[in-house]
Each structure stands twice: as structure tokens, then as C-alpha cells.
Amino acid sequence: MIIPLGDDVKRTWVNFQFATAFMLAACIVVWGRQINLPPEAFEQAFYSFGLVPAVFFGLKPLSPELAIIPSFLTIFTSMFMHASWSHIFGNMLFLWVFGSSLEIACGHVRFVIFYLLCGVGAGLGQSLVDPSGTVPMIGASGAISGVMAAYMLVYPYNKVKLLIFIFKVRVPALALIGFWIFYQMYEMFSAAAAPVSQAGGVAWTAHVGGFATGMVLIFFLRRPGVKMMQEPALR
């Protein structure tokens, strides 16, 4: 088990990471609403507010009782939904560790725009692979993948503090995130080559799509004067 605990980025320019905290709180509030639903309604919410490619592209309609919002909005609402306690815990932990530092590089408003657009890129990436798919996609991991990509480009040499089982280590962001995206791509290609009956429940293509989106957007949405490939903070 690998758990990120923090990093070495100095908390300057931004007094408090309001945008990151807002995104995190929004996901928690939505999750609180989800877990209070009856089991059947819990599952139905995935189709109503998750991103279903076939519905998003207008290839298949939802039943009237599930079509609560316009299908184009689900690419946004799906980012704030989760499937389990471990799903939301992992995503929110990564969002806070990497998002709170990236918000320093972007500023509050730019970070919100960046985060949402990375989520859109992740959703489109997954949907375009199988536009006729009927399995709903939910979760913040696609947007967070974009955050990690931008973090790697802005703070590649800063150390990320990790808890690996019972050991605490500090790893350069470039090595950690580089290995992470390599693993995502490996799983993406493995899933593409596997029979449909063996496909897993992780949207690997969404992770890669969000990552690629973040690598591009950070060049346009970072704060004026923020340099790419910054040297590590001194301690």
C-alpha cells in the first residue's frame, strides 16, 4: 500500500488552497448524498449523473426516470461521484496532496478551470475509445490525473512524502508520477487487448486522457511568472 502524505512545495503566493478544498468538499458532499440513497437508487444514480458514452453521444437514450439532467452535463457531474469509500478516499488524498500545491502555481480561478477541463479531457478520452459503451464512468481520478501531470511539469524535482506499508520515504515527483503514468498506460493497453469479459472496472483511458490534457493545459493556465521544471525547495 502506497499513501502520499505531502510534499516539499513551499506554500507561497496562495494563503490557502480554497479551490482545492472546494473541489474536495464538493466530492465529499456528493458522496454523503450517495450513501444515504437506497441500494437501488445508489446504482441508478450512476446512470443519471455518471458519464455513459452511448448516452453522451446520443446513440442510446436513458429511460425517462433516469434522464434527470441533459446528457452533456454528465461529463461534469460524473467527476464528483464515487463508487465506494476506498474510491473517494484515494482520490481525495491525491487531490489534496497534488492539487493544493498545483493551485499555488495556477491560482484559485485558473485551478478550477484547469481541474474541470482535465476532467472533460478524461471523460472524452474514455468515451471516444468506446462511444457505444453503456457502462457509466464516475470519479475524480481523470481530473486528478491531469493535476498530477501538471505537478510533474512544474515541480519535477520536489520530493513527495510517501507511506509505503510502515515506511516513510521521499521520492522525486518526476520518478513517482512518471512511474504512475507508465503503469496507467500499461494497464490501458492490456485492457484494450483483453476480451470484453475480462475487462476491469477502472477507466485507464480516462486516466491517460486526463494526464495528457493536464500536460497541455498547464502551459496556458499557470500563473504569470511561474516557471516550468522548477528546482526543488530548499529545507
Q: Which of 41-50, 61-70, 78-87, 195-204 has the lowest mean pLDDT?
A: 195-204
Length of the chain counted residue by residue? 235
For the chain, how are helix, strand and coil distributed in percent, rounded to 5? 60, 10, 30
Q: How confident is the model at residue 201 (pLDDT cuts 50, 70, 90)?
A: confident
- Kindly state the average pLDDT of the residues 144-171: 94
- Mean model confidence pLDDT for the chain: 91
For the chain, the domains span 2-192+202-221
pLDDT at 88 over 90: yes
pLDDT at 16 over 90: no
Query: pLDDT tens for residues 94-141?
Result: 999 999 999 999 999 999 999 999 999 999 999 999 999 999 999 999
Q: Give the per-residue SS3 of 5-43.
A: EEECCCCCCCCCCHHHHHHHHHHHHHHHHHHCCCHHHHH
| Confidence at residue 199, expressed as pLDDT on a 0 to 100 scale | 47
CB 74 within 8 A of CB 50: yes
Torsion from C-alpha of 55, 61, 64, 69, nearest 10 degrees: 30
| CATH match of 2-192+202-221 with 2.40.37.10 | no
* Interatomic CA distance for residues 82 and 226, integer angstroms: 33
| Confidence at residue 14, expressed as pLDDT on a 0 to 100 scale | 61
Higher pLDDT, 235 or 18: 18
Q: Which of 8-17, 196-205, 218-227 has the lowest mean pLDDT?
A: 196-205
| Confidence at residue 38, expressed as pLDDT on a 0 to 100 scale | 96
* Ordered DSSP codes for 129-142: HSTT--S-B--SHH
Output the CA–CA distances (angstroms, integers) from residue 84 to 8, 48, 173, in the order listed: 30, 17, 28
- Please give the share of the chain, as a percent, with pLDDT higher than 70: 92
- Kindly state the average pLDDT of the residues 39-60: 96
